[in-house]
Amino acid sequence: MSLPFWCVFISALLIFVAKIPVAKEMNKDGGYDNHHPRAQQARLTGFGARAYAAHQNSFEAFMLFAAAVLMAHTTQTMGWFVDTLAVIFVVCRVLYLGLYWADLPWQRSLVWIVGLVCTLLIMLSPNLRLVA
């Protein structure tokens, strides 16, 4: 499996890693309400609300990133450029979660932008002709 595909796999796992603190915060609120978890999540505040937002954003970022990697793969544009961008994306996503949980908004936004730019560049890579 190629490095960008491993990065897609890791990004998928990060969605579920991001859910762990959400579940812990929900459990503090009278126990995890498995009958109505979305209603309980909507009531979260502070750290719990930030953890839930980070979890939701993980889904959003994953979809674009996975599509970008598939675009590069199907156009046979895989190489050092796409590999590097994919790794930077994963690093940004890990940092993003930590920064969101720590309530560091401008730093979180900065790494989100870097991750988004990586995704967009991977999508554009077939036109950039930077294949190694």
CATH number at residue 28: 1.20.120.550
Per-residue pLDDT tens digits for 112-125: 999 999 999 999 99
Query: What is the span of the domain harbouring residue 75?
Result: 3-128
pLDDT value, residue 131: 46
Kindly list the averaged pLDDT for each block of 10 residues, start to end, along the chain of length 132.
Answer: 96 97 89 88 92 96 97 90 97 98 97 98 84 46
Per-residue pLDDT tens digits for 90-105: 999 999 999 999 999 9
Strands (E), the chain: none
User: How many separate domains does the chain show?
Assistant: 1
Q: Position of tokens 């959003």? A: 60
User: What's the CA gap between 51 and 103, in Å, rounded?
Assistant: 10
pLDDT value, residue 130: 52
User: What's the CA gap between 131 and 108, in Å, rounded?
Assistant: 31
Burial 40-51 (b: 16+ CB within 10 A, else e): bbeebeebbebb
